[in-house]
Chains A and B, each alone.
Chain A
């Protein structure tokens, strides 16, 4: 059994200190971005919580006292309320809830991040191509995006799942990423369009720079702020969507613990063992809150033209 409590405290302290240090130091530096970040409500808290969750997800084997699928005494330790040594209690199959929440962070955050990165990459690619690639390409791509935006994401995912064979966790993440880039592409395209009208781009083109080079050196960095904010929001939305899919039974499959399928498993135990669904539900809510707050902060810091005043 690993030293759960001490490592947890260390991780907590580390991420809080880190977040505070980074934010405050950057705030003192000139530029204003960090200052705006710190001034956004809850942005620092969001950053700290996100770092904390990432740390415990990465260090899961150190933080969790038990394997997530380990069934302790299936008769005597079934549905035990929170206490010692099981700080969040045990579930129906006598598994330690805290360990499952920690490993669940790995899965939920992992799926969310992988999907969001894929979505951001696809969205950027399509957005840049559409914005800088000429009228016809723009038209075709934006029609595609319109179709993608018209179908609510969950239906799109359900159709693929219905038709396809069993997806693994990674396959699920890729599918979620492949269905989540439409809005990002619109935003990136808007950025690129406004940028291509600037003189420096015309100058680059006049000097003979190839379109790809123009894109890489000039357009992408300026669209980066949009993409970063989309990324943070994308992780949050994908985590919620994955949780919903796992709840319905078509997301992450047991015994792999994801916060969504933990809530589904615990649904019938709401009266007998409410902690086994409260813990993952609260964890998920907190994670999504933190990511939204982080996204707000990033938006304020990186894109002051469109950010709201406080």
Chain B
């Protein structure tokens, strides 16, 4: 009997010891070039091939694999060519006022050993601007006529005309691609190309693996010509929503998350002892855009929203400041115009922002002929009910909250609002076709307003889904884009935004702060508002702060 019991104990002890011992940290990596950084990411990457996607998650990853010629510096200057950081380009010059000559650093190499040449630059420009790839960046590159090759390491950018942000346009959008690997793939197939799931770049990190629905892994390239990255591995943990991602960071299963967004998440992150919070200028703003044209028929005006007084009334009826407080707590502001916090110079304090005034809203609606049959009922005019649908993506927790707040507030002034939550592809389709009444849109922005504002509000602008058109506004915007000095530009922007406020083509909802949460052990953290992880290759995890996942054997 005793021996049997002993046998049981031994039989149990052996597997238990094995299991327990597995957790003990082994020797693993030590020193300055270790470290694993785990990003908690929301979203599903579509492809890692730059021209065919502008999803934030894709961009976060491929920006570690591919390089631009140059990038804006920490000061964020986009005018002229001062203060830009040298990346693939080690020098540049202006042979004449419409031509930019960029010299590719001879040390730059693709991760398969081939050198990076000017032909790659010219090829990349063709890829980004060809209609077959249908790149979202095509419009931003419209002012560049062509890119030619002067010699194997010099590329020439030929511009249509002179303007302040020529250099920015040339370098900011193009992530240089390898012609020797992609030249044989027809542009029309790039969206589903195998290269997008297994890319080879020239950047500080090389692609290792992508487990769909779970993670993407990159490993540092120790031969990177601008300096070996300190952190050896980058892993993106893919989750489907923000709240789960925050939970992972708080539970120490991930190291970094780029925006916390809601007060609940900020509170959780603040309470987590291993996290440090990094606030930085927000690059996003959210609006509720009115469709001024008839849904589905862009030749006729919208039966309800083409009336500027009605639009102004709808804005007056919503308490945007308190809505922002409900959704964000203190972590967002209501901007005076559709602009993010990043564009600090444009936050003019004396722009005519409509207040919250339901009495005025009611008066306006009644004056325009919208009357309610019963007090508190829905307003009617000529047999048509004042009924509108708000369109938004089902993936955004914040916008869903806003939709419900707006719905209830507008009901108080006799407007019947229905909410339609759709998936992102359907949203894009509906916006493009103009089959919506009001759409809640969130836009992440470039460091400069020059390309974004015309796209959103100029007649014919690629993102002007509501059909807004005002020549006076467009004139002011053109003036701002061509202005030689910041003071001139700001004067023009202010005039433009004043016109926008009067025309009321959209309800401006919020411009949130961006607060990132990153594990305390990571040193030298710098975050750029427009591309959060632009400086990751300079971050370090000091040798004395390594934890279990950092020491993983290389």
Contacts and interface: CB of A to CB of B under 8 A. Distances in A.
A255 B404 CA distance: 7
A3 to B, nearest CB: 22
B267 A272 contact: yes
B397 A268 contact: yes
A139 to B, nearest CB: 42
Contacts of B267: 272
A191 to B, nearest CB: 44
B545 interface: no
A269 interface: yes
Interface in B392-440: 394, 397, 400-401, 404-405, 407-409, 419-421
B323 interface: yes
Interface residues of A, number: 19
A94 B419 contact: no
Nearest to A271: B268
A272 B323 CA distance: 19
Contacts of A255: 404, 407-408, 419
Contacts of B421: 249, 253
A267 B243 contact: yes
B264 interface: yes
Contacts of B408: 69-71, 93, 255
B483 to A, nearest CB: 40
A254 B323 CA distance: 18
Contacts of A70: 408
A74 interface: yes
A166 B319 CA distance: 30
A271 B267 CA distance: 10
A94 B264 contact: no
Contacts of B264: 268-269, 271-272
Nearest to B394: A249
Nearest to A166: B420
Interface in B257-301: 262, 264, 267-268
B326 interface: yes
A74 B407 CA distance: 13
Nearest to A269: B264
A254 B326 contact: no
B479 interface: no
A267 B241 CA distance: 11
A226 B268 CA distance: 52
A78 interface: yes
Contacts of A269: 264
A70 B409 CA distance: 9
Contacts of B405: 71, 74, 93
A268 B243 contact: yes
A92 interface: yes
Nearest to B323: A74
B260 to A, nearest CB: 12
- Among A78, A255, A269, find the residue whose CB has the most chain B CB atoms closer than 10 A: A255
A69 B408 CA distance: 7
A108 B400 CA distance: 22
B322 A92 contact: no
B325 interface: yes
Interface string A60-84: 0000000001110011001000000
A260 B409 CA distance: 25
Nearest to A92: B401
Nearest to A79: B264
Nearest to A70: B408
Contacts of A249: 394, 421
Given A93-B401, A268-B243, A269-B264, A254 B325 contact: no
A129 B419 CA distance: 43
A75 B319 CA distance: 11
A75 B325 contact: yes
A1 B102 CA distance: 73
Interface string B337-362: 00000000000000000000000000
| Chain B: number of interface residues, binned into ranges | 20 to 34
Contacts of B262: 268
Nearest to A78: B326
Nearest to B422: A166
Contact of A94 (B243, B326, B407): B326
Nearest to B264: A272
B438 to A, nearest CB: 16
Interface string A74-106: 110010000000000000111000000000000
B322 A75 contact: yes
Interface string A266-302: 0111011000000000000000000000000000000
A80 B200 CA distance: 52
B318 to A, nearest CB: 11
B419 A253 contact: yes
A267 B264 CA distance: 12
Contact of B419 (A93, A254, A267): A254
Contacts of A268: 241-243, 262, 264, 397
Nearest to A93: B404
B326 A93 contact: yes
A192 B421 CA distance: 46
- Among B268, B326, B394, B405, find the residue whose CB has the most chain A CB atoms closer than 10 A: B326
Interface string B308-319: 000000000001
Contacts of B394: 249
A253 B325 CA distance: 25
A309 to B, nearest CB: 41
Given A93-B404, A253-B421, A268-B243, A74 B326 contact: yes
Contacts of A75: 322, 325-326
A166 B419 CA distance: 12
A249 B394 CA distance: 8
Interface in A217-276: 249, 253-255, 267-269, 271-272
Contacts of B326: 74-75, 78, 92-94
A94 B327 CA distance: 11
Contacts of B397: 268
B247 to A, nearest CB: 9
Interface in A131-156: none
Contacts of A254: 400, 404, 419
A92 B327 CA distance: 8
Interface string B123-165: 0000000000000000000000000000000000000000000
Contacts of B420: 166
Contacts of B419: 253-255
Interface in A187-233: none
Contacts of A271: 264, 268
Contacts of B241: 268
Nearest to A272: B264
B266 to A, nearest CB: 11
A255 B407 CA distance: 9
Contacts of B242: 268
A272 B325 CA distance: 16
A253 B417 CA distance: 13
A286 B224 CA distance: 62
Nearest to B419: A254
B402 to A, nearest CB: 10
Contacts of B322: 74-75
B19 to A, nearest CB: 31
17 contacts: A69-B407, A70-B408, A71-B405, A71-B408, A74-B322, A74-B325, A75-B325, A75-B326, A92-B326, A93-B326, A249-B394, A254-B400, A267-B243, A268-B242, A268-B397, A271-B264, A272-B264
The 4 tightest CB contacts between A and B, nearest first, are A268-B243, A74-B326, A272-B264, A71-B408
Given A254-B419, A267-B243, 4 more contacts: A254-B400, A255-B408, A268-B264, A271-B268
